[in-house]
Amino acid sequence: MNTAYVLDQAADFLKRIQRSGSTTTTTRWSIPVEQPLCTVWSEGESQRDKKSGFHARAEFSFCWEIRALDEVQWAGRRHFLLDGLASSVTRIVSKEGATLACWSTDVGDHQSPGTHFHAQFNHFDAPPFPKGFDVPRLPALPMSPFLAFEYAIGELFQDRWAKHAASDSHDMQQWRGIQAPRLEKFFEWQTQQMREQRTGSPWMTLKLLKPAPNLWV
């Protein structure tokens, strides 16, 4: 079943949030878990040369609570502020409908434990990784919902996605133009913080870092 239409729905809803012009209303932008975006089937492609014995696909959903920026210097720009929940969920399922893997890629707030950008495996009814047990919070890149989805695609389609991602196509150049500056700023910020912190555990320095709101503006 082709679920690409949910991308159009998410894009249209984001445009409506932008057109509303409200800088005080927080809105949930999402692809709901009940109506996920799905990949095509990976026929053993989660290993190189199709050596995996699993036929699987990824189901992707997310929920980000956002609002338009109200700071004068950023007014009218195509940016928004995270103002609450920010979680992207990837579920890998078999052709029989069994859940093979499930994880979330989350953005914390200034009170949350663990690294600000992290991944978790707490979406299961029973151990290991039962719901409500938030350990471990694995360090992650600052992943937008669709960068989190690209990660899953790259895992499920090792050869096919690597070839496509290395191409000079218009779509890939556009994608790089969006993601590369964000990642560069992230690594520059972490490197600067590490250089400024001269004492204590380097890992705890990274774990406790909280980015300024304007880091990617």
Q: What pLDDT score does 70 carry?
A: 64
What is the tens place of the pLDDT at every residue in 126-170?
888 888 888 899 999 888 899 999 999 999 999 999 999 999 999
The answer, yes or no, to whether residue 75 has pLDDT greater than 60, is no
The pTM of this model reads: 0.87
Q: Which of 211, 77, 61 is nearest to 146 (CA)?
A: 61
What are the tokens at 82?
Answer: 């995270």
What is the tens place of the pLDDT at every residue in 200-211?
899 998 898 888
Q: What pLDDT score does 99 carry?
A: 92
Q: Residue ranges per domain, the chain?
A: 5-158
Provide, rounded to the nearest whole percent, the portion of the chain with pLDDT above 90: 56
Q: What pLDDT score does 21 carry?
A: 66
**136: Cβ contacts below 8 Å, ≥ 6 apart:** 120, 121
Q: What pLDDT score does 74 carry?
A: 55
Counting DSSP H helices and E strands in the chain, the numbers are: 5, 8
Mean pLDDT score across all residues of the chain: 88
Q: Quote the CA–CA distance of 193 and 213 in Å, as a whole number.
A: 16
Q: What's the whole-number mean pLDDT along residues 176-199? A: 90
Which phi and psi (to 5°) does residue 198 adopt? -100, -10
Q: What pLDDT score does 46 carry?
A: 96
Q: What pLDDT score does 6 carry?
A: 93
Which phi and psi (to 5°) does residue 208 adopt? -90, -5
Q: What's the whole-number mean pLDDT along residues 172-187? A: 92
